[in-house]
Amino acid sequence: MKAEYLLTLLKTPKIGRKTAEIVLANCIGSPGNTVELLDYFQEARKQKSIPIPTLEDLNTAHEKAVKALDKCAEHDVAVLSVTDQRYPDRYRHMPDRPLLVYAKGNVSALNPQHAVAIIGTREPSAFGNKAGYRLAQLFAEQGFTVVSGLATGCDTIAHRACLDAGGQTVAVLASGVDYIYPKENRGLAQEILEANGCLISEYELGVRPLPVFFVDRDRLQSGLSDAVIVIETDIKGGTMHTVKFSQLQNRYLACLSHPAQYRDHNKAQGNNMLISDKKAFPLGSSEEINRFKNLLMHGQYQDSTETSQGSLEPLSPATTANFIAQQDPQNEAGKEHEYRPVPGTQFRMF
């Protein structure tokens, strides 16, 4: 279905994302007008009970959708529907996926070969600031696209380090892509665009951020990545929303592992908990970082120097689960649902 009619659905009274998904699932091709769109509702209702809008409501919604799309075209903003080939592939099978995303900049940056979301508190410690910068730099140098949320603190560190390393970074916004929040990062947003990166949002132009939008944004950060890396967070920080989504979406999770002298800092407590509970890989040494990168790139949690072959062969989920079980016999290797959300988290540095 074309973006024009998906947006019409979303602007129709009493029609939300779930109902729109039902209509889309029963749709072949795309309607050419609102009368045909109404027919799609009738067909979808044969499969599941859904509200049926009036033709007048659809016509009004369509007018609003066309106006919004025209505004996007004027501002060089791409509107990508789930049926668009440019739509982020990592979003397609994600729970509660956005049916439309708005992208400004290099749209191909939304479908990189490798991507990590690097996130954390808005108030990192001095150690977190320095170590987070180095982490983002290392992943950017290895060709990973760095995803973050353009917030102050850890997000800014991740974007900045990636840009300084000559890498590609994507900022996921909790507002329209024409409204940069916080305002002090407007310059950073422009640098991202100039460096062949991209700004992306599920909110149309002109939308300003609301508290609930930041939680919704968090699911899109983890969804756009292969793994989520936490620089620093306390136990109840907003970063924990992204951590939760990474588990729901079966993304790998890793945390900066603090040396003993920094481990008592309040912004390290979330990291400590996730590592202690075996929900996250620790990243506290070059060896651990290299192993994690090789897991994401090649499917094996080992340093490239630990193999005698020129390339690493990806392991199947079952094989990897058995490998993990050998490190922690209490973990049952056959339970794939245990492996995928928290793979390999038995490895500890301290």
Helix or strand or coil: residue 341? Answer: coil
pLDDT in tens, the chain (350 residues): 899 999 999 999 999 999 999 998 887 888 899 999 999 998 888 888 899 999 999 999 999 999 999 999 999 999 999 999 999 999 999 989 999 999 999 999 999 999 999 999 999 999 999 999 999 999 999 999 999 999 999 999 999 999 999 999 999 999 999 999 999 999 999 999 999 999 999 999 999 999 999 999 999 999 999 999 999 999 988 899 999 999 999 999 999 999 999 898 989 999 999 999 999 999 999 999 999 999 999 888 876 555 433 333 333 333 323 333 444 434 333 333 222 323 333 333 22
CA dist 237 and 215 (Å) reads 12
Residue spans of beta strands (DSSP E) within the chain: 77-81, 100-105, 115-119, 145-148, 169-172, 198-201, 227-230, 252-256, 281-283
CA dist 77 and 203 (Å) reads 12
pLDDT tens, residue by residue, 313-328: 333 333 323 333 444 4
Amino acid at 324: I
CA dist 242 and 96 (Å) reads 14
Contact 116, 147 (CB under 8 A): yes
pLDDT tens, residue by residue, 243-255: 999 999 999 999 9
CA dist 136 and 89 (Å) reads 23
CA dist 121 and 209 (Å) reads 18
pLDDT for the residue numbered 346: 30
Q: pTM, whole model, 2 decimals?
A: 0.85
Helix or strand or coil: residue 79? Answer: strand
pLDDT for the residue numbered 304: 56
Tokens 């062949």: give the residue.
196
pLDDT for the residue numbered 324: 36
What are the residues whose beta carbons fall under 8 Å from the beta carbon of 1, sequence distance 6 or more?
24, 27, 29, 30, 31, 81, 83
Please list the residues that pair with 113 across neighbouring strands: none
What are the distances in angstroms from CA 116 to CA 123, 211, 230, 239?
21, 24, 10, 15
pLDDT for the residue numbered 305: 54
Report domain 109-283's class.
Answer: alpha beta
